[in-house]
Structure 1
């Protein structure tokens, strides 16, 4: 058998093939159940995403906020996530956006952080030491943390560009706002995004999507935002409170599988800033850091006293529970939107922006 000669003239793989929407790992992992239960999401506006360090919480205001957040997290009444987002679109460095509260707290400084965390996040009081504004509209946060992971750095900006284009063509630039955000967990699912949107009753939910490509953007706008319909094949889950008691154990157990192990879900829920560094396909590292976080052993993972089921049992249970939950969510959305006439109603619920 003749020797195989390497084709040295072959064109190098493009960034899109290695890290973008054409990479081999696209659609290789199960998305459902990859978001841990939580009830509040805090976004701290800080610089431009092109300027973020791999660990954006290692400098300046994010560092101060992350420390205070971590120190008091056990006292939060609601499981809360903290993420950095880019400014612009009416927001500046130090602004804090809180969902589902739909409130923007303006221009926090280092000296304000401890009092803000104490008053707002721990005690649920109004922030009397600064300006706060009500938010209206729809918010799409796209992970574009390129210095943290190359996949997010390639996919995120392309998605944002497409969102801006599609939103503009629909004349919805004053109702739908797109912002880059730091790592939210699940590098392998890039493009990752979260959509915060109110229903007809004004209740706000935050829905996570993975493996989103520019071709999917029209569906996010026309199906999810306009009609309140979840795009099931891209859905990772949504912001939701954890049930209590026996039901809590059942829900957590059945939502563990995300295609590989339960390790990633544990890291998502227990950190102020979600993290983790992944290895790309064929030994190509997507992580931009030289010292990635150590990988936990799956057999040692525990979460707040809950017992874990065997993975095979979990996978079977997850399929049944996921199907039931999907039907329930779809029916709820249908009931909320059923009074609108499809011939006359504007599919985008008109919301005035309060700044």
Structure 2
């Protein structure tokens, strides 16, 4: 039985190498058409791949040429629609293994990196037996840390298994991914807080090699500045699909209802990192203008949810670090910060809250938060600007006030109660006079 399983796994690996097909957001995928690296056959025997080979090819480098053509200022940056670019899946498995500098372009097929090769092949063989559509991605591993080599992180389960070896692959896949049970002798450990993964697979695509490391560094800096050390963990990861959307970021953690969600962001630049930490992680709001999609939703559902959030009432201009334009309100100068695209940050999850169901009135003005020269915040009705590639307003979902949620039927019911009480009082008064 074991030999048959091994043959199936090796057949799956050979088929993958020959056909190069799988889900676009799994590391066992077709290379992006714009990937610019050659693909060496594997790592050095029993060890890490030659770093000089990868770095010499431009993997992970951020030199002048790479930064200009493959970084955040590349010509095609932020030129494509993001919402709906995540294929449907329900479970994400991350194998901690070495680091991006030594990952070959196809680490899941590298001859001498047996653990990721055998695990990815086993997932392919058993994927039809799994109740949950599963994706496998490699993330950075360092022995003696929270993500040691061989550790496996599973979302949305928020669990970790320690020190998986290539000898354990078949049993692990069978017990955990197929039967949804526990792997013994290993025991699952609970994960807490938020986990951020940044595609930094430079040997697969130079855009990820340039953008990824810069984003990881900025995340780590901002995590310290925001006092989120121990609450937010960031890690480089291998190919997740959509090279042209680099920087690609995935955030796993509790949403506004406490359920674990996984949200994908694209075209993320270092300047966007504080916004993701403040809005998505600290406030539980989707940063919609960078949002690619969500684990557990189909592409169509992602697009529909994105459009629904864009039709919420309650537009608030938020400072994105751009230069303010002067405006005069009530005789004093105010600063309204302009942003390059119209965006919205709203409720995480499936949009079932009342906040995410408020329709947009076609003809109205928006309540915009403006800041006066003295630092005082002022609410003032300002004309709405249409979205576009130029100046727009970033939206933040605001909850309706008590008066706005008071329906006409409620008014009639209240009046009926008042009239009934008056009638009873008058009748009782007349009765006493008899």
Do both share a fold (TM > 0.5)? yes
1:114 maps to 170
1:67 maps to 121
Q: What is the CA-CA distance between 1:200 and the residue it aligns to?
A: 4.8
The answer to whether the 8 Å contact 2:287/2:346 transfers is no
1:33 maps to 84
The answer to whether the 8 Å contact 1:34/1:255 transfers is no
Change in Cα spacing, 1:168 to 1:141, as seen in structure 2 (3 Å) is same
Change in Cα spacing, 1:222 to 1:190, as seen in structure 2 (3 Å) is same
Aligned residues: 254
Match of 1:57 among 108, 124, 127: 108
1:348 maps to none
Q: What is the CA-CA distance between 1:28 and the residue it aligns to?
A: 1.1
Once residues 174 and 219 of structure 1 are traced to their aligned partners in structure 2, the CA distance between those partners, rounded to angstroms, is 19
TM-score (norm 2): 0.55
Say which structure, 1 or 2, has more relative contact order (CA 8 Å, 6+ apart): 1
Q: CA-to-partner distance for each residue in 1:57-112, whole Å, 9 max, x for gaps?
A: 12321001011000000111011110000014511111100000000000001111
1:132 maps to 188
CA-based RMSD of the aligned residues comes to 2.3
Once residues 64 and 254 of structure 2 are traced to their aligned partners in structure 1, the CA distance between those partners, rounded to angstroms, is 42
Q: What is the CA-CA distance between 1:40 and the residue it aligns to?
A: 0.5
Q: What is the CA-CA distance between 1:324 and the residue it aligns to?
A: 1.9
Once residues 118 and 327 of structure 1 are traced to their aligned partners in structure 2, the CA distance between those partners, rounded to angstroms, is 44
Once residues 199 and 332 of structure 1 are traced to their aligned partners in structure 2, the CA distance between those partners, rounded to angstroms, is 6
Change in Cα spacing, 1:155 to 1:233, as seen in structure 2 (3 Å) is same
The answer to whether the 8 Å contact 1:42/1:98 transfers is yes
Q: CA-to-partner distance for each residue in 1:131-174, whole Å, 9 max, x for gaps?
A: 32110010000000011111000000000000000001122111
Match of 1:21 among 60, 72, 77: 72
Change in Cα spacing, 1:84 to 1:326, as seen in structure 2 (3 Å) is farther
2:132 maps to 78
1:45 maps to 96
1:225 maps to 281
Match of 2:306 among 291, 314, 322: 322
Once residues 283 and 310 of structure 2 are traced to their aligned partners in structure 1, the CA distance between those partners, rounded to angstroms, is 16
Unaligned segments of structure 1, at least 5 residues: 1-11, 243-251, 257-317, 338-355
Once residues 129 and 123 of structure 2 are traced to their aligned partners in structure 1, the CA distance between those partners, rounded to angstroms, is 10
